Structure 1
C-alpha cells in the first residue's frame, strides 16, 4: 500500500539537499586553484576560533593569515573572517596565499600598527584597540596572533619577524603590545640587532606603546612557576617571564625608537594580588613595568586584563602614536 509523503517531510528533505549542495559548492570554490594544496587536502570553509592557544601567524597579507599549529606543525590559511581557506604544509599554505593575494599592500598615509596580545590571550583581545585605531585613520593593522602558552618567547619573536618581513618593503611600523606581547617585540628587536636586519625593520619602526609590560620579569610567574603545574598550563614563555627570566633578559633590547609605558595602579584599599609585590595592576607591578629609555610612563587605575579595552587608555595610546608620525 502506497503511503503519501507529508509536505513537512518533503520540505525538510529539500532543505537538507540544498544545504549539502551549498557546502560542496563552497568547498569547490574555496579550493579550486592550481595549488597542490587542494589536490591533497580537501577543505571545508568553516569558521574557526582564529588561533586560540595553538596557532602562530607566519604571514599576514590582504586580510589573509598563514598560521602554524604549535602541536602538529601543519599550517592553514584564514581569511579576514577567520574562515579556513586551505590547509597543509607551510609550502602549501604560502602557495595558496600567493594565489589569493599575490601583491603586498602599498603603504598608507599612516604606519602599519602591529597589535600583540598577552599570555593566555588571543589576537581577538585586541579588537577593541583595533577599532579605536581605525577610527583615527590607521587603515593598516596587523593583530599578530601567537601560541603564547605553547611557544617560547624566541619562537614567537621569529614568527613576528617573518610577518613584518612579509610586508611591503617601504611600510613603516608602530607597535601596541599588551603584557607578554611587549617582551616578544623586545626579543625581536634584540634578535635583529644581534643577527642583522636585512629588511631594515628596526629603522622603519616609528613608535611603541607598552600596556602593562613585565619589563623586569614577573613575580607572579616566578611564584606560580614553582608549583610545576604552571608550566604545563602556561607554557615555556610564561616560565621565561618567571624562573627563567635571567636567561631571556639577555636577549631583550630597549626599543631604539620612541616608546611609552602604560602601567596600572590599583587604588589602596581595592583588591590586591598577594602574588605581586607592591602597587600593581593585579598582575604586573609598577616597578616591573619600568624600562629605562621610556619617553613617558602613564599611570592608570585599570586592571591588567582590561588595559587594551579601556577607552581612556585607547585615547592616550592613539595620541602618543599620532605625536610620533614624523
Structure 2
C-alpha cells in the first residue's frame, strides 16, 4: 500500500487517478457480484479478467468526483467525457476486460449480446461486448455511436424474433441467470441477462433500468421475462408506469410477492442495511409498504416456488414450507395463470433443471406442467371456468 501511495505522489495526474482507483478497489470487500463472476463458467475465448476500475464503494465517490474534476482540465481534444480519460492507459487505449458491472452498473440498452451500462454513482456510460470487454466509455451518445459503428463495420443485422429477459434478485447478478439464458437459446429465443444495481437503489429506480432496456429492443416481435426473487418485484414496479405490447409471458421464481419475513427480522441490523441497501428495506411485509402497492402484472404470468416438501420448510424463523428464504405463501399472487412448487432452495432455483424446464414450457405453451393442467391463483372476484361437459352416449 505504501508503494501505491508513493506512486500517487510521483506520477502524473492521469496515472495517479488510476492508482487511486486501484487503492479504492483494494480497500473494498468482495461483492456478491464478484463472487458470481468467479463461479460462473467462462465463455470460450474469453480473456483473463482485468479487475481495475470495476467497483466503487459509496465512500469512494468523493475521491472519484475530485479526480473527474481535476481530469477535466487535461481532457484530450475531442474527448467528450473526462471519465473516459480515467479509463485510458498511457498509450490512450481504453482498458478492455471488465467484471461486467454486477453491482454498481445497470444495463440501459441491449443489442444482441452487446450492452450499454450506466454507472450508478458517476452517471457515465460504457459499451460492453458478450465477453464483458469495454469497447467504449463516456456519454450515452458516445456509446450508441460506437455501437452503430460496430453494426456497420461488421454488418450486424437488426434484432428480431423472441427475446427472454432474465432479471436476477437482490445482491445477485445476471451471471446467476446464465443457465436459464442458455436454455432459452436452445429453444430459438434470444436470452438477455439483465444487470441492475440491486443493492444501491430502491425497487422503483431499479425498474427504470429495466424500462430503458425493454424500450430499446428494436426489431423484436415478442418479449418474455423470467425473474428471480426481488427481480419479480422490479418487474411489477415496471408495470406500474410502463407496458410494452410485445410483452408476452412472465415466470416468477421465488418472488416474495407478499413480502419477506426474513426482511422483517433483519431490516434493523447494520449488516442487512449495508449489504442489501435501500431495496432491502422495501422487502418487508408491511401492509403500508412498497410491495402491496405494486400492480399485478397485466400479462400472463406463472409462479414457481421452492419448498422442502415437509410443510415445515428449511428456515425455522418463518412459518410454513419455504425455500430457505421466502415462504411459499408469500410467493402467491392472485391472477397467476399457473403455480407449482419444486423441491429446491432459493439460491439455486435459477440453476435447477426442473425449474428451467417448467419455466421455458410456460413461455412456450402457457402451462408449467407437461400435461397442460394449470393451477391458477384466482383473483378475489374470479371464478374457475366450468369443466367441459362429458360426451353423451
Q: With the length of structure 1 as denominator, give the TM-score of the two structures.
A: 0.79
Tell me: CA distance 1:104–1:178, structure 2 relative to 1, closer, same or farther (3 Å). Answer: farther
Q: 2:93 matched to 1:93?
A: no
CA distance in structure 1 between the aligned counterparts of 2:83 and 2:99, rounded to whole angstroms:
25
* Contact 2:182/2:191 (8 A) holds in 1: no
Structure 2: runs of 5 or more not aligned: 1-77, 368-393
Cα-to-partner distance string for 1:139-158 (whole Å, 9 max, x where unaligned): x2211100111111111101
Cα-to-partner distance string for 1:62-86 (whole Å, 9 max, x where unaligned): 3211111122222211101100112
CA drift at 1:99: 2.6
CA distance in structure 2 between the aligned counterparts of 1:59 and 1:49, rounded to whole angstroms:
18
Tell me: CA distance 1:278–1:73, structure 2 relative to 1, closer, same or farther (3 Å). Answer: same
* Contact 2:313/2:322 (8 A) holds in 1: no
* Contact 2:80/2:139 (8 A) holds in 1: no
Q: 2:176 matched to 1:134?
A: no
Tell me: CA distance 1:40–1:69, structure 2 relative to 1, closer, same or farther (3 Å). Answer: closer
2:22 corresponding residue in structure 1: none
CA distance in structure 2 between the aligned counterparts of 1:127 and 1:243, rounded to whole angstroms:
30
Tell me: CA distance 1:213–1:104, structure 2 relative to 1, closer, same or farther (3 Å). Answer: farther
Q: 2:228 matched to 1:178?
A: yes
2:31 corresponding residue in structure 1: none
Q: Tell me the matched-pair count.
A: 281
1:225 aligned to 248, 264, 267, which one?
Answer: 267
Tell me: CA distance 1:104–1:240, structure 2 relative to 1, closer, same or farther (3 Å). Answer: farther
Tell me: CA distance 1:244–1:66, structure 2 relative to 1, closer, same or farther (3 Å). Answer: farther
Tell me: CA distance 1:93–1:258, structure 2 relative to 1, closer, same or farther (3 Å). Answer: same
Tell me: CA distance 1:225–1:318, structure 2 relative to 1, closer, same or farther (3 Å). Answer: same
Tell me: CA distance 1:75–1:275, structure 2 relative to 1, closer, same or farther (3 Å). Answer: farther
* Contact 2:313/2:320 (8 A) holds in 1: no
2:166 corresponding residue in structure 1: 115
* Contact 1:62/1:104 (8 A) holds in 2: no
1:213 aligned to 255, 276, 279, which one?
Answer: 255
Larger mean Cα displacement after TM superposition, 263-272 or 206-215: 263-272
1:188 aligned to 221, 232, 238, which one?
Answer: 238
Tell me: CA distance 1:216–1:91, structure 2 relative to 1, closer, same or farther (3 Å). Answer: same
CA drift at 1:274: 3.1
Structure 2 residue matching 1:234: 3-state secondary structure: helix
CA distance in structure 2 between the aligned counterparts of 1:100 and 1:244, rounded to whole angstroms:
48
Larger mean Cα displacement after TM superposition, 251-260 or 267-276: 267-276
Structure 2 residue matching 1:318: 3-state secondary structure: helix
Tell me: CA distance 1:39–1:70, structure 2 relative to 1, closer, same or farther (3 Å). Answer: closer
Q: Which of structures 1 and 2 has the larger relative contact order (alpha carbons within 8 angstroms, sep 6+)?
A: 1
Structure 1: runs of 5 or more not aligned: 1-33
* Contact 1:58/1:65 (8 A) holds in 2: yes
CA drift at 1:40: 5.7
CA distance in structure 1 between the aligned counterparts of 2:328 and 2:200, rounded to whole angstroms:
27
CA drift at 1:269: 9.1
1:221-300 to 2 correspondences below 5 Å: 221-242=263-284, 246-249=288-291, 251-268=293-310, 272-300=314-342
* Contact 1:209/1:262 (8 A) holds in 2: yes
Tell me: CA distance 1:158–1:317, structure 2 relative to 1, closer, same or farther (3 Å). Answer: same
1:8 corresponding residue in structure 2: none
List, as ranges, runs of 4+ consecutive aligned residues in structure 1 with deviation greater than 6 Å.
Answer: none
Structure 1 residue matching 2:197: 3-state secondary structure: coil
CA drift at 1:223: 1.3
1:77 corresponding residue in structure 2: 127
1:13 corresponding residue in structure 2: none
